Structure 1
Amino acid sequence: MTQTNGPLSGMRIIDLTTVIMGPYGTRILADMGADVIKIEGPEGDSFRTYGPFVSAGMGGAILNLHRNKRSLGLDLKDPGGRMAFERLIAQADALVHNLRPAAAKRLGLDWDSIAEINPSLVLCAARGFASDGPYGNKAAYDDLMQAGSGFAALFDQQSGAPRYAPTSWCDKIAGQAIAYSVLGGLIHKVRTGTGQAIEVPMFEVAVDFMLVEHFGAMAFEPAKGPPGFKRQLSLGRKPYRTADGWACILPYSDRNWKDFFAFIGRPELGEEHRYADIGSRVAHIDELYGIVEAEARRFKTSDWMAFCDRCAIPAMPILAFEDIPENEHVVATRMFEIMEHPTEGRYKHLRSPVRFSKTPNTLSRFAPRAGEQTREILEELHLPPEEIDRLVAQARGMRNAPDSVSSPTEEAINPALEKPGS
């Protein structure tokens, strides 16, 4: 194993999750130095089917989603595969899966079964819904959570029809919840030596996320009015067309608005009572957004940025995905590096957004092909050589699984930084 000095270095986490929610959570843990072993069954992770590819199963999303992990090809229904899995559990610090309660029980992945093997293990079950409710065994996907969390209905208030966001945001915030929940479990384990079962239900995570600001008047009992944060529900809250593009222009404080009114040549608006403080501005937010929209077209985006930055008014040009790698701040902070994957060629490595001064996140392993480290991990478990050969041969039947490929050396994963596009 390539050594890291991340804050979770020395921790071993077994990853039995698929698609986005679980793998994103375990990637956060892997970026912090944990030895994350991703177990893939005969079909591999279904998210591997999305291309385009250089090698089948290694799409662009996989290259960053599964970095810093090792992939073990194992059929848990095979007696030998199950034995290897239980030996792995006995040595692990945490296990994350995304199985519904009935399936977890059937596969012996419930807490009672796991605790017999390793009572100090942190067991995190990532699910669609809390298991003690009527939806406990209901199938769950991101669209369902956007529908059930109140998010989709917000658009009904604005445009007369509910809709989904064009991103799997529920999967991703649930992935973050997995990461912080496992961290909490590991702290408890370090302090007490005992493990515990954790449940992370995506539906409840999404509801909690949505109600942070939208609970409002509905939080009181009885409610003091309808839920919803008025400023965010305003139809005027949107990107504004400038003379040559689009921008977010967001005067916020009292000083921001006075400076904005002076810039557009209407300083008298800063003296009006209805715009004097944040409370009165929220009450008249549609009027204010209308003013910003009308005035935005008078100046170029660069002029707006220069003025807003000079006066500390929050502002940002509208960036498309293609623009982000070339943004001056992104380039300066080295958010992207061009890397050379040993089998997939050059790709953009997106660094972890979190930085530790003493235990930095590093790229210690490139994203593996399905089952790539099967032999390596089985040898660490000290299984009989003939059993290792059998399980490796079985894993080789997985989609694009090699016999064994070594992890990159430290020199191989740290080429000189190249600016995107160079």
Structure 2
Amino acid sequence: MSGPLSGLRVLDLTSVVLGPLATQTLGDMGADIVKIEGPAGDTTRYTGPKRSKDMSALYMGLNRNKRSIVLDLKQHSAKDVLWRLIDGADVFLHSIRPQAIGRLGFGHDNVLARNPRMVYAGVHGFRMDGPYYGRPAYDDVIQGLSGSADLMARLVDEPRYMPTIMADKTCGLVTVNAILAALYEREQSGEGQFVEIPMLETMVAFNMADHIFGHAFEPPEGPMGYSRVLTPSRRPYKTLDGYICLLAYTDPQWERFWAEVGVPELKDDPRFDSLASRADNIEAVYSLAGEYIATRNTAEWLEVLPRLEIPCGEIVELESLPDDPHLQAIEFFRSEDHPTEGKITIPDIAVQFGRTPGSIDRLQPKLGEHSIEILREAGYSDADIEDLQAAGATI
């Protein structure tokens, strides 16, 4: 494996989306990801279109650059294998409820006692020092508890989930950040540590970055909710033949826009003459701009707005993304020959490193594809491996 994390080994005891996205990201940067699965495998193996029964579309999107080993941790012999893997690993990441991982014997105290240099990352629904500790949590639940569904209700008059697995994916990226920070600290101190990534608190902090708004002060200077993004007219603008996305933000951008649509005097309108005044009258700004945008077609605006140095773009359907000229030019959607699934498409690694680039060196593994390989690396003989297989501790 190449990349800035080459030489780092991560034990991945996560499933579904949050943890697998985090470890895929670490794997893209060169880490050796050992995906530890129970005999049934990660549940996403069975979600969505598929060519093989345990290689579904959702799994394929979250599990490149990994090796898979099956361990039935209900068996002592499988636990012994995991302890041996812990001895040689840098990161232990799990998304198992704290009580359950504790019953298995792999709580953070035990693992850090065995390997003091380990970065032990636990993804929990809720922080351990609060009354929700130990409750089960999934993306939909966290979207509701964190205010995300309420934000949708302010726009469409009823609570809705974001049409993406927002909490899992956001927390997955935060998990990567937390692990990398702990690894950096280990380089200074020589010691590992326990890192807790709680979903609720992560998403509340994420939402409150802008939506705490008037409640940033005591007493509040206004309501919660960032007014610009919650105003009804903040949406793709309708044109004569479709829609366009644009954002004039600075004073010069708005001055050029008003001049282009034939009302240059609006730059001096007290409602619109500064960033602060526009923020106080954001619905009026957007609705009035929308009236002028609706008088021309999309292609004309896509020609005019770059000249005005106003960021813009058309609405691109998901199915059209592979045809985007920029994404085509950089070959972002890659065609690969998977050894069992045939031709597949995968998005490229988004982040680029100039000196130590990441790479996609491994395609998505079959369940237990690397069990024997990993066990041999851990010092198990072929006879030992046969015994583990016969006992059902691995496959």
2:97 equivalent to 1:96: no
Offset of residue 5 of structure 1: 2.4
Alpha-carbon distance in structure 2 between the residues aligned to 1:385 and 1:155:
56
* 1:198 alignment partner, SS class: strand
Deviation digits for residues 340-392 of structure 1 (CA, Å, limit 9, x no counterpart): 11111112121121110011010111110111100110010111322212334
Q: TM-score, normalised by structure 2?
A: 0.96
Offset of residue 69 of structure 1: 0.4
- Aligned residue number for residue 163 of structure 2: 166
Any residues of structure 2 matched to 1:191-206 within 5 Å, and which?
191-206=188-203
- Aligned residue number for residue 85 of structure 1: 82
- Aligned residue number for residue 293 of structure 2: 296
CA contact (8 A) 1:146 1:152 kept: yes
Any residues of structure 2 matched to 1:176-195 within 5 Å, and which?
176-195=173-192
Any residues of structure 2 matched to 1:310-321 within 5 Å, and which?
310-321=307-318
Alpha-carbon distance in structure 2 between the residues aligned to 1:319 and 1:94:
39
Deviation digits for residues 318-343 of structure 1 (CA, Å, limit 9, x no counterpart): 11111111111211222211111111
Alpha-carbon distance in structure 2 between the residues aligned to 1:125 and 1:238:
38
- Aligned residue number for residue 132 of structure 2: 135
CA contact (8 A) 2:78 2:394 kept: no
Correspondence for 2:152 among 130, 150, 155: 155
Any residues of structure 2 matched to 1:222-261 within 5 Å, and which?
222-261=219-258
Alpha-carbon distance in structure 2 between the residues aligned to 1:92 and 1:290:
56
* 1:269 alignment partner, SS class: helix
Unaligned runs of 5+ in 2: none
* 2:228 alignment partner, SS class: helix
Alpha-carbon distance in structure 2 between the residues aligned to 1:61 and 1:214:
31
Alpha-carbon distance in structure 1 between the residues aligned to 2:144 and 2:340:
40
Alpha-carbon distance in structure 1 between the residues aligned to 2:242 and 2:263:
23
2:120 equivalent to 1:123: yes
The 3 A distance-change label for structure 1 pair 279 and 395 is farther
Alpha-carbon distance in structure 2 between the residues aligned to 1:293 and 1:387:
71
Alpha-carbon distance in structure 2 between the residues aligned to 1:394 and 1:298:
73
2:375 equivalent to 1:383: no
* 2:296 alignment partner, SS class: coil
CA contact (8 A) 1:95 1:122 kept: yes
CA contact (8 A) 2:388 2:394 kept: no
The 3 A distance-change label for structure 1 pair 245 and 393 is farther
CA contact (8 A) 1:80 1:387 kept: no
Aligned partner of 1:345: which letter? G
Aligned identity (percent) is 39
The 3 A distance-change label for structure 1 pair 163 and 51 is closer
The 3 A distance-change label for structure 1 pair 383 and 396 is closer
Alpha-carbon distance in structure 2 between the residues aligned to 1:317 and 1:393:
58
Offset of residue 296 of structure 1: 2.3
Any residues of structure 2 matched to 1:220-369 within 5 Å, and which?
220-369=217-366
2:74 equivalent to 1:74: no
Aligned partner of 2:301: which letter? W
The 3 A distance-change label for structure 1 pair 371 and 310 is same
Alpha-carbon distance in structure 2 between the residues aligned to 1:72 and 1:358:
32
2:62 equivalent to 1:65: yes
CA contact (8 A) 2:75 2:393 kept: no
* 1:106 alignment partner, SS class: helix
CA contact (8 A) 1:74 1:391 kept: no
Alpha-carbon distance in structure 1 between the residues aligned to 2:220 and 2:131:
26
Aligned partner of 1:336: which letter? F
* 1:72 alignment partner, SS class: strand
Alpha-carbon distance in structure 1 between the residues aligned to 2:58 and 2:158:
31
Q: TM-score, normalised by structure 1?
A: 0.90
Unaligned runs of 5+ in 1: 399-422
Offset of residue 157 of structure 1: 2.9
CA contact (8 A) 1:73 1:395 kept: no
Offset of residue 393 of structure 1: 5.5
Q: CA RMSD in A?
A: 1.6
CA contact (8 A) 2:120 2:195 kept: yes
CA contact (8 A) 1:100 1:137 kept: yes
